[in-house]
Structure 1
Amino acid sequence: MDTEHGFYRQVDVEDHAHYIVAFFVLVIGTVGVTGNALVIYAFYCNKKLRTRPNFFIMSLAVSDFLMAITQSPIFFVNSLYKQWIFGETGCKMYAFCGALFGITSMINLLAISVDRYIVITRPLQAIQWTSKKRTCLVIALVWLYSLAWSLAPLLGWSSYIPEGLMTSCTWDYVTSTPANKSYTLMLCCFVFFIPLGIISYCYLCMFLAIRHASRDVEKFGSQVRKSTLIQQQSIRNEWKLAKIAFVVIIVFVLSWSPYACVTLIAWAGYASILNPYSKAVPAVIAKASAIYNPFIYAMIHSKYRDTLAENVPCLHFLAQVPSRDCITVSHSESSFTESGLSRQSSVSKTKFHRVSSMSTTDTHIWSDVELGPIDQSHCLKSSYSLGALRNKEYRSLAKQTTDKENQRQEQVR
């Protein structure tokens, strides 16, 4: 074996350890490639999925797909050979791809969290702040940010070397040099801890906003204000959103915190206590993050499931009873109510158009939320609830207008 001037270091571990790692890497690669490929295929087949919020999910699926397809096969082959067989250049390219796609996945999670935070907690401003053009710009910045951190070891700030059982590669967090220590610290802060804090803050604010909206509805009852009417659409998804937020944060922490802890232990000067197993296992767990996100962000989405059930023969079991789009139901109810109110008077019709315009805007705002990772199984139920609230307002408005007209007619007489 060509050691390439000391680049490759042999470790003394049992053969079965390599084979166990190979098995898990094979499972992770197969599930990661298949799951993310299905998400991309569903996005390609169904034009209705090509919405602004789903662009973030697609960026996440692409990064996870590339992560799985570039890491798992090489890791698997090296584990079978029980050593790194692709040379120093191959090690650097392997580690660069792992860093690029891994960091991109994590920053994509951050972008999704911030996007959901803006739309849910500031729905009126979200119309101005969010657009497809800005979304594409944010995604481009996510990839450029990740590329900068990935290129740094190739340009001299730290370096890429074999790690763990010497069957995979990553940046050099073991050698205690100023460049390695500074890169490790900055990477952990700006790619793990700070994004994790922002994600936690965003989901906490979303949950509190939805709970506040629920209390407003209970407090005002049928006397629904404009802001309460906007937030009503999210109330049916309160617990669903809370569960998704909890799963996202927990998976994020469980996937990368072991790796972060190992690197920080080495950064603190205790690299000697880390054995090959303690370095290899966190690396495998971190690479497994590519298999979770398709299920969290896409597979629980009804439109994705229906698209896959329709286009992939072996996935017909994912099909569910189709539900009507909540916006269509709401618009139908509004049209029916408008036709009834138009018979009342011209004054009533004018006031109705003002409320109807507001309702249409609110529905547009919340259609953006519904196309995100939240499951739409309760969409129809929510639209009926929202329509009922609107009908109460319209009937109350019509009754008040009719009473005023009757009083005017009596005064004239």
Structure 2
Amino acid sequence: LCRSRSLQTPANILIINLAISDFLMSITQSPVFFTNSLHKHWIFGEKGCELYAFCGALFGITSMITLMAIALDRYFVITKPLASVGVTSMKKALIILVGVWLYSLAWSLPPFFGWSAYVPEGLLTSCSWDYMTFTPSVRAYTMLLFCFVFFIPLIAIIYSYVFIFEAIKKANKSVQTFGCKHGNKEFQKQYQRMKNEWKMAKIALIVILLYVISWSPYSVVALVAFAGYSHVLTPFTNSIPAVIAKASVIHNPIIYAITHPKYR
């Protein structure tokens, strides 16, 4: 990024932030999980459990909120190209990133202060927030967590892409009825720019879909416990969704490396 000026854009700053949060998730979760799996139980003590779960929460939430920011950035660039000029400058992109990390931190810290807790989960080879205890405090944290770090960002992402699809459809119709007929070079140039933005949006959409698919089973397990049916969950059914969710960090570098030569 530092060497290539063509990559120094607000959109790419968001993608770099996603790569950083994914990398930090990977190095803080995978080695610990693998070591505990070899021992078949948690071996790093209570403080280690809390730190592990906190890192998983912080970097997982950061990735989700960054994906929302990427979707909204594509929305403004594609659906409101003139209005978006200057809206996502490098300075504003950096401010957005600071906001993303502070927001994620705000939702990751409460278990340290008695609102829910970070505890071993499933087969006791990993830790997470306590979604199994059926108390008002724990249930409130679980519901608010899912509303503000999963469901609302997901709605924002869906909203963004619905209007992105609409904008692309209108642009296609316009270029067919006006651009090609009159040979307007400026129009063709604008259309080509939108096509490039759409290509970037499609890559982001694939990343977002894989992320949501990866975290959905984990969400379902937590919501089953939230509803008071934790007795139907086994250590195995708790652990597998957690592994799938945290393995989601491997998708993004593969997708960007395959689809975008500059990122490669």
TM-score by length of 1: 0.60
Q: In the superposition, relative to structure 1, how do residues 47 and 225 fare at CA in structure 2: closer, same or farther (>3 Å)?
A: closer
The match for 1:258 is: 217
Q: What residue ranges of structure 2 are gaps of 5+ in the alignment?
A: none
- Whether contact under 8 Å (1:210, 1:231) holds in the other structure is no
Change (3 A) 1:227 1:202: farther
Within-5 A mapping of 1:115-264: 115-220=73-178, 221-223=180-182, 228-229=187-188, 231-234=190-193, 236=195, 240=199, 243-244=202-203, 246-264=205-223
SS of the residue aligned with 1:128? coil
Question: How far apart are 1:301 and its partner, in Å?
Answer: 1.4
Structure 1 residue 273 corresponds to structure 2 residue 238: no
Q: 1:63: how far off?
A: 0.3
Q: Report how far residue 115 of structure 1 moved.
A: 0.6
Q: Secondary structure at the match of 2:43?
A: coil
**Shift in Å, 1:157:** 1.0
1:67 to 11, 21, 25: 25
In 1, the alpha carbon distance for the partners of 2:120 and 2:126 equals 6
CA distance, structure 2, for counterparts of residue 46 and residue 219 of structure 1: 38
Distance 1:204 1:248, change over 3 A: farther
- From the superposition, tell whether residues 88 and 102 of structure 1 become closer, same or farther in structure 2 (CA, over 3 Å): same
Higher RCO by CA contacts (8 Å cutoff, separation 6 or greater): 2
1:189 Cα offset (Å): 1.1
Following TM superposition, by how much is the alpha carbon of 1:222 offset from its aligned partner in structure 2, in angstroms? 3.9
Q: Extract structure 1 runs of 4+ deviating beyond 6 A.
A: 224-227
Contact between 2:78 and 2:194, CA under 8 Å: does it hold in 1? no
Give how far 1:231 is off: 4.2
Question: What percentage of residue pairs aligned between the two structures are identical?
Answer: 57
Query: Residues 84-112 of structure 1, C-alpha deviation per residue, up to 9 Å, x if partnerless?
Result: 01100010000000000010011110000
Residue 106 (str. 1) matches residue 53 (str. 2): no
CA distance in 2, matches of 1:243, 1:111: 15
Counterpart of 2:228 in 1: which secondary structure? coil
Match of 2:253 in 1: 294
Task: Report the number of matched residues.
Answer: 263
SS in 1 for 2:152: helix
Contact 1:71 / 1:94 at 8 angstroms: preserved in 2?
yes
Determine the C-alpha separation between the residues in 1 that align with 2:202 and 2:74: 15
**Deviation, structure 1 residue 199:** 0.7
- Decide which moves more: 127-136 or 246-255: 246-255
RMSD: 2.1
**In 2, Cα distance between equivalents of 1:277 and 1:246:** 31
Distance 1:242 1:134, change over 3 A: closer
CA distance in 1, matches of 2:73, 2:149: 18
Structure 2 vs 1, CA of residues 214 and 241 (structure 1 numbering), >3 Å: closer, same or farther?
A: farther
Structure 2 counterpart of 1:54, one-letter code: N
> Distance between the aligned counterparts of 1:186 and 1:66, measured in 2?
25
Conserved in 2, the CA contact under 8 Å of 1:60 and 1:109? Answer: yes
Q: Secondary structure at the match of 2:85?
A: helix
2:4 aligned residue (42, 46, 57): 46
Q: Which residue of 2 is the match for residue 317 of structure 1?
A: none
Asked if the contact 2:78–2:164 (Cα under 8 Å) also holds between the matched residues in 1, the reply is: yes
1:82 and 2:40 correspond: yes
Change (3 A) 1:227 1:282: farther
Equivalent pair of 1:92/1:169 in contact (CA under 8 Å): yes
Greater radius of gyration (CA): 1
> CA shift at 1:50, angstroms?
2.4
Give the 3 Å change call, closer, same or farther, for CA 136–241 of structure 1 in structure 2. Answer: closer
Which of 236, 240, 243 is 1:284 aligned to? 243
2: CA distance between counterparts of 1:245 and 1:73?
28
In 1: Cα distance, 2:17 partner to 2:202 partner: 23
